[in-house]
Amino acid sequence: MDTVFILRAATAVKTALLAHEAEIESLDRAIGDGDHFINIRRGIAVITDMHDELAALEPDLVLQKIGMKLLSTIGGASGPLIGSFFISMAKCVKVQGADTLPGIAAAFAAGVDAIKSRGHAEVGEKTMLDVLVPVSLSFTRLSAEGFERNDLLNVLKREADQGLATTRDMIASKGRAASLGERAIGHLDPGAKTCQVIIHTICDLTAEN
């Protein structure tokens, strides 16, 4: 994972999220505050606008700058969570590097752990973690086992799909959806959907390299 890939991924993710805008906004109107996609769109636009500033930097500094910028740019609950994700990834990359799949998996796991800590949330609470945690666990395990790269990427996409699907039958315990009780059942979590789109996009981009 070098700087060129991070910047390419940002552009690809922006395109993918905009393509799913209507779906994610519909999910958020059903059980959220209605501002999830507004904040995500603002955040990804900020990242892509930083291209020239970031292009000459090492990957850890790129991730650090992105995280700090998102902390001050994205509103709602998303800013601190996603900002912390990138900042924690940056710290891990600085120490361990990100030249191998296990190294990238470790950085991703550090970012996911930061979201868990910052959001005081766990799997099963109808949040983005229902996608991120199972993807991270599989990424860590399979990369350590030397799983073939494209097979690993396909597993991660399936984990993201399955994690998203589990949120449909959950009662939320975080955010506005928590106030809906059983009325939230039957709706996918918008944050989980956003993460599923991002994971698919980055896995597909990785497979092309």
Query: What is the tens place of the pLDDT at every residue in 32-57?
Result: 666 777 888 888 899 999 999 999 99
For residue 19, give the CATH number of its domain: 1.25.40.340
Report residue 106 as tokens: 């470790």
Residue 63 scores a pLDDT above 90: yes
Q: How many domains does the chain have?
A: 1
Residue 14 scores a pLDDT above 80: yes
pLDDT on residue 35: 72
Exposed, middle or buried by CB within 10 Å (0-12, 13-18, 19+), for 53? exposed
Name the nearest CA neighbour of 74 among 104, 111, 48, 37: 37
The percentage of residues in the chain with a pLDDT greater than 90, rounded to a whole number, is: 58
pLDDT in tens, 66-93: 999 998 887 667 778 889 999 999 999 9
pLDDT in tens, 157-203: 999 999 999 988 876 665 555 545 555 577 788 889 999 999 999 99
Q: 144, 103 in Cβ contact below 8 A?
A: no
> What number is the average pLDDT over the span 127-135?
94
pLDDT on residue 181: 53
Q: Is 0.85 surpassed by the pTM of this model?
A: yes
Distance between CA atoms of residues 30 and 177, nearest Å:
9
Distance between CA atoms of residues 156 and 113, nearest Å:
18
> What number is the average pLDDT over the span 93-120?
92
Domain of residue 137: give its range. 3-208
